[in-house]
Amino acid sequence: MVAPRVYQAMTQPLVGHLDPFFFQTAEEVRTLLGYVFSTANTFNMAVSGTGTSGMEAAIANFVEPGTKVALLTNGFFADRIGEMARRHGGTVVRLARDWGTPYDYDEVREFIRRERPQVVGFVQAETSTGMFNQAKPICDAAGEVDALVIADCVTSLGGMPVLVDENGIDIAYSCSQKGLGCPPGLAPITVGARALERRKQRKTPVDCFYVDLELLDAYYTGRKYHHTASATMLYALREGLAIVAEEGLEARWERHRKNHEAFVAGVEALGMKMLVPEGHRLWTLNTPCLPAGVDDARVRGYLLEKYSMETAGGFGPLAGKILRIGTMGYSSTAENVALILEALKDALAKAS
């Protein structure tokens, strides 16, 4: 759900995409993103487009023909990184785990040492499974072979510790519509100094004009027109980020953790098991397994019709096996958890 203050911010009069107030807002977003990503990086911006545009920006700028990309995958979105890297000319090598299975970080280190890639890609918060993957051991292993690390933080930013600097992530991207409580439409991204230096050594120009980070930086710092970015979305994001800063990151993480844990306790009391082992679960997106014989579409249809509650199902190898229920951003409240548990109890009784 979108925070009411964000809706309010979006009603502010529109200014042009080259107006001084637009650039002032972009500058505030840059500073606030540093806080929310927990980084001293100054190269922070919101790419126009959804989370996928952040992924495209990360890949297009740091992968060129011949770049070796080591992909760690245990879910759907990691494989999308691989697909994009191939399209931008990269050579992708994969270390794959079953969807929803944690990595063995010794194996990750061995894989990275053996492959010696220039770039390592992984998804910190895998929305297809509800799994949190640890950034630190991945970044440490990548550091040993001087590889850049790209982290997908689409479902962690604003809800769980992303900790760009502490983990050593070189490039992290996210979206506006999840932990930040805004509508979809912008993709926050942060890039560290090492990555910017590496980018200068590219042999070929970035093959996608729209997400060329150098052109975007020149635009957002008021030096050169690039595209007509939406001031309305920038107002929304600035408000969403200001709300995070007012609450405080630690307090916000704690809120997400508590509400997630209350949700888990509640579904377990209903006899459901969580897909992801304890200690590896997202606090933003919960994936309880459906009891045998219960039809996923019936449960979700009932929740939507009777309670106006939108939930997601599993897909790929998890189709029909799990529910995916968000407790993120503005929606992560004790009241919402109580409501969904009540509704789930009713829906499961009807569906079995």
Ligand X SMILES: Cc1ncc(COP(=O)(O)O)c(C=O)c1O
Which residues would be at the binding site for ligand X (CB under 6 A)?
50-52, 55, 77, 123, 127, 152, 154-155, 175, 184
Q: How far is the CB of 340 from ligand X (least distance, A)?
A: 19
Give the pair of three-digit tokens for residue 47. 């790419």
- Would you say 286 or 351 has its CB closer to ligand X? 286
- Residue 171 is classified by DSSP as E
Q: How far is the CB of 224 from ligand X (least distance, A)?
A: 26
Backbone phi, psi, residue 210, to 5°: -65, -35
Q: How far is the CB of 33 from ligand X (least distance, A)?
A: 17
Q: How far is the CB of 69 from ligand X (least distance, A)?
A: 16
- Would you say 188 or 266 has its CB closer to ligand X? 188
User: 131-132 and 125-126 as β-strands: parallel, antiparallel, unpaired?
Assistant: antiparallel
CA dist 205 and 45 (Å) reads 21
CA dist 117 and 68 (Å) reads 5
- Would you say 95 or 180 has its CB closer to ligand X? 180
- Would you say 41 or 127 has its CB closer to ligand X? 127
Give the pair of three-digit tokens for residue 199. 């980018």
CA dist 212 and 302 (Å) reads 45
Q: How far is the CB of 146 from ligand X (least distance, A)?
A: 26
Residues 300/311, Cβ–Cβ less than 8 Å: yes
Q: How far is the CB of 98 from ligand X (least distance, A)?
A: 17
Give the dihedral of Cα atoms 63, 65, 67, 73; nearest 10 deg: 70
Q: How far is the CB of 184 from ligand X (least distance, A)?
A: 5
- Would you say 284 or 347 has its CB closer to ligand X? 284
Alpha helices in the chain (DSSP H): 4-9, 20-36, 51-62, 76-87, 105-115, 135-144, 164-167, 193-200, 213-220, 231-247, 249-269, 296-307, 334-351
Give the containing element (helix H, strand E) for 121.
Answer: strand 119-123
Q: How far is the CB of 223 from ligand X (least distance, A)?
A: 28
Distances (CA, A) of 320 to 48, 126, 271, 300, 316: 34, 18, 17, 11, 9
CA dist 276 and 75 (Å) reads 12
Tell me the residue type at 348: L
**Residue number with the smallest Cβ distance to ligand X:** 51
- Would you say 95 or 348 has its CB closer to ligand X? 95
- Would you say 55 or 351 has its CB closer to ligand X? 55
- Would you say 153 or 213 has its CB closer to ligand X? 153
Give the pair of three-digit tokens for residue 316. 């790929």
